[in-house]
A and B are shown apart, each in its own frame.
Chain A
Amino acid sequence: MKPIKKIKVVVAGPFAAGKTQFINTVSDIKTVKTERKITAEGEKNVKEYTTVAMDFGKIRIDDEHELYLFGTPGQSRFDFMWEILGEGALGIIILVDSTDPSTFHEARRIINFFQSRFPVSMVVGVNKQDLPNAWPPEDVSTALDIGEDEDIPVLGLSALNKEDVKRVLLTLLELVKKELTG
């Protein structure tokens, strides 16, 4: 039996941006999680468990290939994991919680982190568009200072919606295709 070749896409973003959900929505397998109960006071109010190493989901392409989706931990104290997970990635998806503007600056810092270390294709997913008080993608893009010539598409989505998640993934892959053929 031939060994399976793995192609990697990284899903990063601030705490509680919806990375685990994003992977879960599109993965063939139940997402492998490395979650721990939250103890930090401020974070406990947002959710009960958080990713501490990575989340992992996959999509079988054919008998020889699988697309791996790695979700990074959101908190910057785990940024050593970002470095490890970013290595060899085909592309990077940055998720932002559009209902929580207090995380926008952190999202930009994460974009800068990956841009400086891994110059690969990147897409920003403005998540939780199904919730009230969600900022529109174009305003989040302005708040994140994403310049027109940065070549980073910014798309609105709900990570609960499979079609939305597929659209974000396909946008990233089309960008990779452009890089490959351009």
Chain B
Amino acid sequence: MTLIGDLKTLNLVDILQVIAKDRKSGILLVEWKDLTVAYYVKEGEVIFARPVDRVFRVYSDRDFDTLIEKLRIPGEKLHKTVERFLIERLDDREGVFSFTPGFIRYGSSYPVVHPVEKLIMLASRNLTKEEVERKISDELLVFEPSPNGLEILDKADTNEAERRIFSLVNGDKTVADIRREAKMDNLTVDRTLYGFLALGIIKRKKREKKQKPSIALDLLMKIIERIREK
């Protein structure tokens, strides 16, 4: 199923988060204001990018090895296209995207110079105040490190400030506490938390136990039965 959206309402961090989650493979097509770029995604990693004048060209070259051979791009230089057509555009919001899973046949293994974790953190650093408020919507939110948080943090190529923010996430401190103790501007803290959340480095702290439902079990069973019959 193709995932379609607008970068104004679902930014690159969000898109890469969805792609990285199940290590998807396929084609991410972004119609930027000035050009259309096809991003080739293999098992969650963006391995190659190329501008296309006609969208159908993307779908006519389904074998990736044949494509890069035709384009005469050596494997060790594939990452340069990611830098030029993705990393340089991380602050651009004028565009619509579609991600089509599958479709392209990938043969060999290709070097991944910019892992998706790193791309997500780079994209997070470009988020606007309005964008971070979509996820870091309340300064009373509490996050805790994920069990494999440190492992992902290593892949994400984080800087010293981001690692300091991570050290403050402990399942107890609120966003307000972290902002205060980090001694950085709020936007930097919020962007970092947004990126960490997208990468699964941190997660929302699980709520206290739910309240016991105020209904008798026999009545509940009657409701279930009634709905089944409907």
Task: List residues 86-111 of chain A with CB under 8 A from any CB of chain B.
Answer: 88, 90-91, 101-102, 104-105, 108-109
Q: Which stretch in B83-91, B148-156, B216-224 binds the other chain?
A: B216-224
Q: Does B76 contact A (CB under 8 A)?
A: no
B210 touches A121 (CB 8 A): yes
Q: Does A130 contact B (CB under 8 A)?
A: no
B1 touches A149 (CB 8 A): no
Q: How far is the CA of A60 from the CA of B223 in the complex (A)?
A: 9
Q: Which residue of A lies closest to B224 (CB)?
A: A173
Question: Contact string, B173-216, partner A, CB cutoff 8 A, digits 1/0?
Answer: 00000000000000000000000011000011011111111110
Give the distance to chain A from B122, nearest Cβ to Cβ, in Å: 20
- Report which of B3, B197, B198, B217 forms a contact with A177, defined as CB distance below 8 A: B217
Q: For B227, what are the chain A residues with a Cβ–Cβ distance below 8 Å? A: 26, 59, 67, 166, 169-170, 173
Q: How far is the CA of A149 from the CA of B9 in the complex (A)?
A: 27
Question: Contact string, A149-182, partner B, CB cutoff 8 A, digits 1/0?
Answer: 1100000000000100010011001101101110
A180 touches B228 (CB 8 A): no
B215 touches A90 (CB 8 A): yes
- Given A112-B138, A135-B1, A143-B18, check contact A179 B210 (CB 8 Å): yes
B10 touches A102 (CB 8 A): yes
A166 touches B208 (CB 8 A): no
Q: Does A147 contact B (CB under 8 A)?
A: yes
Q: How far is the CA of A65 from the CA of B220 in the complex (A)?
A: 11
By CB atoms of chain A within 10 A, which of B197, B208, B224 has the most?
A: B224
Q: Does B34 contact A (CB under 8 A)?
A: no
Q: Does A120 contact B (CB under 8 A)?
A: yes
Q: How far is the CA of A65 from the CA of B226 in the complex (A)?
A: 11
Interface size on A, residues (CB 8 A): 45
A102 touches B6 (CB 8 A): yes
Q: Does A43 contact B (CB under 8 A)?
A: no
Q: Does B170 contact A (CB under 8 A)?
A: no
Give the distance to chain B from A16, nearest Cβ to Cβ, in Å: 14
A7 touches B10 (CB 8 A): no
- Report which of A90, A101, A149 forms a contact with B206, defined as CB distance below 8 A: A149
B207 touches A115 (CB 8 A): yes
Q: Does A45 contact B (CB under 8 A)?
A: no
B2 touches A174 (CB 8 A): no
Give the distance to chain B from A180, nearest Cβ to Cβ, in Å: 5
Q: Which residue of A lies closest to B225 (CB)?
A: A61
B1 touches A136 (CB 8 A): yes
Q: Does B4 contact A (CB under 8 A)?
A: yes
B14 touches A173 (CB 8 A): no
User: A65-B219, A173-B224 known; 9 other A-B pairs, CB under 8 Å?
Assistant: A90-B213, A101-B3, A102-B5, A120-B213, A135-B1, A150-B204, A173-B223, A179-B210, A180-B212
26 A-B contacts (beta carbon < 8 Å): A7-B219, A7-B223, A26-B227, A26-B230, A59-B230, A60-B226, A65-B222, A88-B214, A91-B213, A102-B9, A105-B9, A105-B134, A109-B137, A119-B209, A119-B210, A119-B211, A120-B210, A138-B22, A139-B21, A142-B21, A143-B18, A145-B204, A147-B204, A169-B227, A174-B224, A177-B220
B residues near A (Cβ < 8 Å) are: 1-6, 8-10, 14, 17-18, 21-22, 134-135, 137-138, 141, 197-198, 203-204, 206-215, 217, 219-224, 226-228, 230
A residues near B (Cβ < 8 Å) are: 7, 26, 59-62, 65, 67, 88, 90-91, 101-102, 104-105, 108-109, 112, 115, 119-121, 133-136, 138-139, 142-143, 145, 147, 149-150, 162, 166, 169-170, 173-174, 176-177, 179-181
